[in-house]
Amino acid sequence: MNEIISLFFIVVGITFNLFGCIGLVRLPDVYNRLQASTKCVTLGTCGILLGVFIRFGFTEAGIKALLCIVFLLLTSPVAAHALARGAHKSGIKLWKDSVCDKYKEESTR
């Protein structure tokens, strides 16, 4: 029973990873790519690690998987935010059909 639940979580995680990578290839802009890929891939990898934790239980490797989930959820949004800020400051234009740019309004006011 444990193995079936863990296999379910691992398959869901890999599906999210695949969707995130398709978004990385398909979308037109740096900011859209960042939005699609980083969130999807973080959620998918957390699903894989949760499946590994259910498979191993409270052993050494399971606790390490849980620690890795906590660390990934803490650091990944920070890295994505820093990348978006750096890209905006280095002068990369938005896509031509984007409708609003709040960060530019804030910084020029």
Partner 1 sequence: MIFLRWLLGFVILASLVVLIFRFMPVRPEEKLMLYLLLCFLLALYRIVRGPTAADRSVATDMLGILIIGFCAILAVYTKKDWYMDIAIAWALQSFIGTLALAKFLEGKHFDE
**Size of the residue set binding partner 1 (CB under 8 A):** 49
**Contacting partner 1 (CB under 8 A), which of 1, 78, 99, 100?**
78
Can you give the C-alpha Rg of the chain in angstroms?
18
DSSP 93: P
Which tokens belong to 95?
């896509």
22 binds partner 1 (CB under 8 A): yes
Which uninterrupted H or E stretch holds 14?
Answer: helix 2-26
The residue written with tokens 């949760």 in the block is 50
CA 52/CA 63 separation, integer angstroms: 10
Residues that bind partner 1 (CB under 8 A): 6, 10-11, 13-14, 17-18, 20-22, 24-26, 30, 33-34, 37-38, 41-42, 44-45, 48-49, 51-52, 55-56, 60-61, 64-65, 67-68, 71-72, 75-76, 78-80, 82-83, 85-87, 89-90, 92
